[in-house]
Structure 1
Amino acid sequence: MATLRIVIAGDLHGQWDGLDEEVLAALAPDALLLVGDLSDGQQLIPKRLTRLSLPMACILGNHDTGRDASGRTLQRQLDLLGDLHCGWGLRELHPPGLAVVGARPASAGGGHYLNRAAEAVFGPVGLEESAERIHAAALSADPHLPLVVLAHSGPSGLGSGAADPCGRDWKAPACDWGDQDLALAIDRIRRSRPVPLVVFGHMHHRLKRGQGERQSFSRDRSGTTYLNTAFVPRHGEDPQGRALRHFSWVEFEDGVLQEVSHRWFSHGGTLPYRQTLFRAEVA
C-alpha cells in the first residue's frame, strides 16, 4: 500500500524555531500543512517556511493581519508565501499526490465575517461567494488524489458547547463559532466527491476560565474527519526538562484515512508522547 504521512502545525503564534525544523528534517513527512496564526503579522516565520524543502500548503489566520486594518501587513505575508498559500484555492502537491483546498483566509470564526484587513485585500466576499469559491476549488482537483480541506477556523455544525471543536469558550454563553461558508462548501463538495479530512485551528485546545480541554477530533456520518490542531502553546518541556514540539499527524493509505494523532517530538525527531485520536480498523 502507498502510505501518505502528513504533519500539521497548529497555530504557531510566533513559536517556530530550529528545533521545529530539526524535527521535520528527521521525520521527512510527505507533506506539511499549516493552519495559520503564524506570528501576528511578522514576516520572519513566513520567510523561514519558504526555505523548507517539504511539499507544503498554508492558510493565514486572523492574527496574521497584525491588527493592521489597511491590509498591508496581511498582503506582505501573502506575497512572501506565494503559491504556498491556498486560501480560496487549490494546491496540488506532486509529490506526494495530495489535493489541498483552502477555506476563507484570515477567518476569526463566528459564522461569516471578513475583518477590515481581509476585506481590504480580498474585497467584500459574502457568505455565498466564499462557499462557492471553496466548492469550485475542490471540483477542480484531481479526483484520484485524496482531498484535504485546510482552514483556519473550522466549519459550523460541530457542536455548540464550549469544549466542542469550534465552540466559543472565551465568552458566555457558549455557542457554535464555526464558519458557515465552510460548512456549506463541504456539503456541496460531498455531492461530487468524498471529503476525508478537514484540518483547522483557531480555537485553542486549552479552554478559557479553567473549563478543561477542547475536543479536537470529530467524525461525521458521511465519513469526514475534522481535526482541530491548535495546541497552544505548542512549545513546551517534559518533566525531565526536554524541549518538546507539538505537531498533529495524519496517515493515508491508498487514499483512505488510517490514523490521526497529536504528537510531541524532541531532539532528533524522538517521539516521547502520542495521543491517538483515530485508527482505522484492520480488515
Structure 2
Amino acid sequence: MTIQSKDQIKIAVVGDIHEQWEEQDNLTLKHLGVDLVLFVGDFGNESMGVVRRIASSDLPKAAIMGNHDAWYSATSWGRKQSPYDHDKEDWVQEQLNLLGEAHVGYGKLDFPEFQLSIVGSRPFSWGGSDWKNKTFLQTRYGVNNFTESTAKIMEQVEKTAFDTLIFLGHNGPFGLGELAEDICGKDWQPIGGDHGDPDFTEAIALSRQMGKTIPLVTFGHMHHRLRHTQTRLRTQIEISPENTIYLNAALVPRIIEQNGQKLRNFSLVTLEQKKVTQASLVWIDPEYQIVSENLIYSTKENLIEAV
C-alpha cells in the first residue's frame, strides 16, 4: 500500500544544545505541533542525561553527534581530562545506544509518512579542511580521509527509500563562503576562511547527480554569535542554484532567562511539496507561546534573511 505524504511538513531543527535540554523542551515540541525534529548535535560533553531526555521523546526524530559528544574520547587531550575510566566505560557508545536508529551520522532514516529520507554526514565533526580525530574515526567507522568519508555517506544515500533527501550534519558543507560572518565562516584568529566539511559537499553533489532532490541541508557547530564582532550575527541561511536551503541552527545559548522566565529557541522549517517554503527562529515561553519570531526565509514573502 502506498502511503500518501503530507502536503505540509513542520520541522523543528534544534541547534547546538550544550547541556540545555529539559523535559520542558520535549513538551514544547509537542505543543508546537511539529511533525519531525532534527538535532544537529553538541548535546554536551558526552552528556548522557541530555541524550536520554532527547531519546525519550516519541516524536519522529533524527540526530547527529557533534564534536562535544566525543569530548573525552576523540583526542588524547580530551582523554586526559576525562571524568571516567575508558577501559571500563564508553560514554560515546552509550549515547549512540540511547539514540538507536535516530542517530544518522554515517547513516540514514526513511520516513514513509513524509515520503523522504534523512541522511547524516560525518558525525563528531570539528569542521575544516584538516582530517581531525584520525584514530577515533578509523577505530569507530573505518574511515581514514575525506574520500573514504564521502564514500561512507554515499553508501547510505544509495540505500534511501526515497528520492527526496534532507541532509543532517553537525558542521555544514564546504563552499558556502569564506568570510568570518558566512554560514560556516571561521570567526577566530586568523579571521576568515571556509570551515565547512569537504566530504559533506561532495556527498551532496554526488546525490544530486543520482537524481536526488535535496530541499534542506541543516547543521550547527558554527554559532550565530560571532567572536570578532557584536555588530551582527552569522549568516544563518543560504539558498543554492538548485533551490536547496542551507540552514545553520546554532543559536547559543538556546535557553535564556528573560523577566524571570525561561525562553527556549527552535528553528522551524515548513516543507511543502518537497520544497522549503518558510524558515524562522522562534523563542517559546513557559506557556508554549511564541514570544519572538525571526522569519529568515519565505517564498511567499520573497524573503531571505534580514540580519
Calculate the TM-score normalised by the size of structure 2.
0.86
1:210-242 Cα deviation digits (max 9, x unpaired):
35310010001121110000000000134x333
8 A contact 1:47–1:80 mirrored in 2: yes
Larger Rg: 2
Structure 2 residue 152 is matched with structure 1 residue 152: no
Structure 2 residue aligned with 1:246: 265
Q: Distance in 1 between matches of 2:201 and 2:294?
A: 27
Structure 2 residue aligned with 1:43: 48
1:172 equivalent among 190, 198, 210: 190
2:200 equivalent among 157, 177, 182: 182
Q: Distance in 2 between matches of 1:83 and 1:97?
A: 18
> Residue 35 of structure 2 aligns to which amino acid in structure 1?
D
Q: Distance in 1 between matches of 2:51 and 2:235?
A: 29
Structure 1 residue aligned with 2:70: 65
Q: After alignment, is 99-108 or 134-143 more displaced?
A: 134-143
Structure 1 residue aligned with 2:236: 216
Q: After alignment, is 112-121 or 152-161 more displaced?
A: 112-121
Give the CA RMSD over aligned residues: 2.0
8 A contact 2:36–2:59 mirrored in 1: yes
Query: Is the alpha carbon distance of 1:98 and 1:265 closer, same or farther for their aligned partners in structure 2, counting shifts above 3 Å?
Result: farther
Q: Distance in 2 between matches of 1:181 and 1:117?
A: 17
Deviation at 1:188, TM superposition (A): 0.9
Q: Distance in 2 between matches of 1:275 and 1:181?
A: 31
Secondary structure of the residue that 2:295 maps to in structure 1?
strand
Deviation at 1:194, TM superposition (A): 1.9
Structure 1 residue aligned with 2:139: 120
Structure 2 residue 252 is matched with structure 1 residue 232: yes
Q: Distance in 2 between matches of 1:124 and 1:136?
A: 13
In structure 1, stretches of 5+ residues that fail to align are: none
Q: Distance in 2 between matches of 1:221 and 1:49?
A: 35
Secondary structure of the residue that 1:149 maps to in structure 2?
strand
8 A contact 1:112–1:181 mirrored in 2: no
Q: Distance in 2 between matches of 1:45 and 1:81?
A: 11
Query: Is the alpha carbon distance of 1:282 and 1:174 closer, same or farther for their aligned partners in structure 2, counting shifts above 3 Å?
Result: closer
In structure 2, stretches of 5+ residues that fail to align are: 1-5, 80-85, 303-307
Structure 2 residue aligned with 1:88: 106
Count of residues in Structure 1 that have an aligned counterpart in Structure 2: 281
Q: Distance in 2 between matches of 1:96 and 1:268?
A: 29
Secondary structure of the residue that 1:267 maps to in structure 2?
coil
Query: Is the alpha carbon distance of 1:118 and 1:38 closer, same or farther for their aligned partners in structure 2, counting shifts above 3 Å?
Result: farther
- Which 4+ runs in 1 deviate beyond 4 A? none
Query: Is the alpha carbon distance of 1:247 and 1:282 closer, same or farther for their aligned partners in structure 2, counting shifts above 3 Å?
Result: closer
Structure 2 residue aligned with 1:259: 278
Secondary structure of the residue that 1:25 maps to in structure 2?
helix
Q: Distance in 1 between matches of 2:139 and 2:53?
A: 26
Structure 2 residue 32 is matched with structure 1 residue 27: yes
> Residue 220 of structure 1 aligns to which amino acid in structure 2?
S
8 A contact 1:35–1:201 mirrored in 2: yes
Structure 2 residue 44 is matched with structure 1 residue 53: no
Q: Distance in 2 between matches of 1:94 and 1:194?
A: 16
1:80-111 Cα deviation digits (max 9, x unpaired):
21111011111112434431000000000012
Q: Distance in 1 between matches of 2:217 and 2:141?
A: 23
Structure 2 residue 24 is matched with structure 1 residue 4: no
Q: Distance in 1 between matches of 2:185 and 2:278?
A: 24
Calculate the TM-score normalised by the size of structure 1.
0.93
Q: Distance in 1 between matches of 2:65 and 2:183?
A: 19
Q: Distance in 2 between matches of 1:282 and 1:167?
A: 27
Q: After alignment, is 52-61 or 247-256 more displaced?
A: 247-256
Deviation at 1:282, TM superposition (A): 7.9
